[in-house]
Amino acid sequence: PDLTAFAFGLPKAELHLHLEGTLEPELKFELAARNGIDLPEKTVEEVKATYNFTDLTSFLQVYYPAMRVLVTADDFHDLAWAYLQRAAEQGVVHVEMFFDPQAHTSRGVPFETLISGYRRAAVRAQDELGISAELILCFLRDFSAEYAMATLMEALPYKQWIVGVGLDSDERDNPPSKFAAVFARAKAEGFFLTMHCDIDQVGSIENIRQVIEEIGVDRIDHGTNIVENDALVELVKAKGLGLTTCPVSNSFVTEQMKSDEIVDLMHRGVRVMINSDDPAYFGAYVADNYVALAEQAGLGAADLAQLAINSFEASWLPAGRREAYV
């Protein structure tokens, strides 16, 4: 049996996907031309040559400047719609997509412009592709807690379009506790909560403890460093928290997929699942990540099916719909 075909055909939820991380070089050129923006790189190859990341910081230094080609609501729609069509080909039937409003509002794009473009693509995915698509608003952790709170206030009129809030960008010196008040308010407003606990960060274990005990998250993005700490593994299991792991992304920011850690956690009964993170930058969409992990760790169809089941169990689908998939 062909494991690649199985991985693509497996119905799955994607829970760790940054919309801004789906910007392929071809679309970047199209949007730049549309908006009269001059890019330093002239060919797709030249753009890809800048993707020589060695860690999270060097990735973010390429990632954020690229977003300036996104200006109008149509641009945001076209970005998300291109991703959703790729997702359909990869067996995705449900997706909870991160977006970084502050990466746009900080350069003058109105919140309403970006959210209305993204929302239009999400509705279209349901109608034309049969994919349920939700949005998760991420705060940038290297900006202030005050700016995050102001962004949350700006988002409240669009509450029906946003399933949860998250935290991304540079983790160093920006611990979860910095955003305790913002996340407490978001929880009171009815949002689900998640936060990035990136791979091999300084203070990773303490940050993971904070997201569980002080923030009270519903899920953890990455978080695989819990393997170092049996007590945290037990806590994550007891609370049924999902860990949204991203093998190919890991191999860019740490030179390893962390496949042993992911598989170990799965076999210990932790709700880990597989995601693509920033597929345009790491060259792998979600089914490609299933295949890469299977090859690296020698997994078979049963393990991949378990990972897909975990993706639905850790999702924020309403209870009745979640059960329909597992």
Q: Which residues are annotated as a binding site for Zn(2+)?
A: 16, 18, 196, 277
Least separation in angstroms between CB 216 and ligand HPA: 21
Whole-angstrom distance, CA of residue 316 vs CA of residue 312: 8
Binding mask 264-303 for ligand HPA (x = CB under 6 A): -------------xx-------------------------
Q: Which of residues 250-279 bind Zn ion (CB under 5 A)?
A: 277
169 binds, among Zn ion, ligand HPA, none (CB under 5 to 8 A by kind): ligand HPA
Report in angstroms how near the CB of residue 198 gets to ligand HPA at its nearest.
5
Instruction: Identify the sign of the CA torsion 236, 313, 96, 180.
Output: negative
Give the residue ranges of the annotated binding site for substrate: 278
Binds ligand HPA by CB under 6 A, chosen from 77, 86, 196, 258 = 196
Cα–Cα distance measured from residue 295 to residue 315, given in angstroms and rounded to the nearest whole number: 26
The type of residue at 91 is G
Q: Which does 21 bind (CB under 5 to 8 A by kind): Zn ion, ligand HPA, none?
A: ligand HPA
Closer residue to ligand HPA in complex, CB, 169/311: 169
Nearest distance in Å: CB 79, ligand HPA: 14
Residues 171-230 that bind Zn ion (CB under 5 A): none
CB-based contacts of 265-271 (< 8 A; 24+ apart in sequence): 265/224, 265/226, 265/227, 265/233, 266/303, 266/306, 266/307, 266/310, 268/233, 268/237, 269/237, 270/226, 270/233, 270/236, 270/237, 270/243, 271/236, 271/240, 271/241, 271/242, 271/243, 271/310, 271/313, 271/314
Annotated binding-site ranges: 16, 18, 196, 277-278
- 16 three-class SS: coil
- Of 254, 248, 259, 255, nearest to 283 (Cα)? 248
Min separation Cβ 267 and Zn ion, Å: 24
With binding defined as CB under 6 A, does residue 166 bind ligand HPA? no
275 binds, among Zn ion, ligand HPA, none (CB under 5 to 8 A by kind): none
Q: Which of 12, 18, 119, 271: binder of ligand HPA (CB under 6 A)?
A: 18
- 231-247 b/e with 16+ CB inside 10 Å = b? ebbebbeeeebbbbbbb
| CA 247/CA 285 separation, integer angstroms | 11
Closest by Cα among 192, 190, 145, 139 to 167:
139
* Minimum gap (Å) between residue 193 Cβ and ligand HPA: 16
Q: Which of 96, 168, 261, 288 is in the footprint of ligand HPA by CB under 6 A?
A: 168
Nearer to ligand HPA, 31 or 56 (CB): 56
By Cβ distance, which residue is nearest to ligand HPA? 168
Minimum separation from the CB atom of position 222 to ligand HPA (A) = 6
H or E stretch including 281?
helix 279-282
Distance CA 277, CA 111 (A): 23
Nearer to ligand HPA, 155 or 248 (CB): 248
Contact 24, 82 (CB under 8 A): yes
- For binding to ligand HPA (CB under 6 A), which residues are involved? 18, 21, 56, 168-169, 196, 198, 277-278
- For binding to Zn ion (CB under 5 A), which residues are involved? 277
